[in-house]
Amino acid sequence: MNNLKNTGLRSIAAAGLILTGIGLSACGGGTPTTQPTTSNPPTGTLTGGALIYSNTCASCHGVNRTGTTLAPDISVNSPRISGKTENALVVWISTHSPVPLSSAERNLLATFLKTP
Ligand code: HEC
């Protein structure tokens, strides 16, 4: 009877696969991206301007809009935002965004930047 032996080998192989899986997911994938794109996976349940910001702008301006070493603070009370109208922000975004955005998306983003 080989059955017992086979089962034993199979469960060892299965355990090996599971461990490999855990090892890989623990690594988390490595290098931070410097080239943001709208194809980044959405985080949480963000929608509208917050979602576009998260996908397109947060890599430089930070998830809380308070800036990183790559880009300045653009939180709602920062001079760069408080000193601009929403329309001026739409215009700025149209040339500044690293990816092409529709006019609806630019408007959503500008509204988001003006929202605490
Ligand atoms: C590759 C990094 C990077 C990304 C991505 C990025 N920004 Fe910026 N952003 C900068 C830098 C650097 C400045 C400062 C530019 C300056 O002072 O001339 C800036 C400045 C700004 C300002 C201030 C403008 C002003 O007149 O002072 C706003 C508003 C802004 N970004 C919004 C956005 C929005 C919205 C997005 C997403 C669509 C975005 N940024 C994506 C790097 C980035």
The answer to whether residue 22 sits within a structural domain is: no
Q: What is the CATH number of the domain that holds 98?
A: 1.10.760.10
Q: What angle do CA 29, 36, 66 make, to 5 degrees?
A: 100
How many domains does the chain contain in total?
Answer: 1
Instruction: Print pLDDT tens along the chain (116 aa).
Output: 544 455 554 544 444 444 444 444 444 455 544 555 555 555 568 899 999 999 999 999 999 999 999 999 999 999 999 999 999 999 999 999 999 999 999 999 999 999 99
Phi and psi based region of residue 65 (left: phi greater than 0; alpha: psi -120 to 50; beta: remaining): left
Domain assignment of residue 67, given as a range: 48-113
Q: Residues lining ligand 1, CB < 6 A?
A: 36, 56-57, 59-61, 70-72, 74, 80, 89, 92-93, 96-98, 109
The answer to whether residue 84 sits within a structural domain is: yes
The answer to whether residue 3 sits within a structural domain is: no
Residue 14: predicted pLDDT = 46
Residue 6: predicted pLDDT = 52
Ligand 1 centroid – CA 80 distance (Å): 10
Q: How far is CA 36 from the centre of its chain?
A: 8
The answer to whether residue 80 sits within a structural domain is: yes
Residue 17: predicted pLDDT = 43
80 CB neighbour count, 10 Å cutoff: 15
Atom of ligand 1 nearest to the CA of 113: 35
Ligand 1 centroid – CA 108 distance (Å): 16
Please state the pTM of the whole predicted model: 0.72
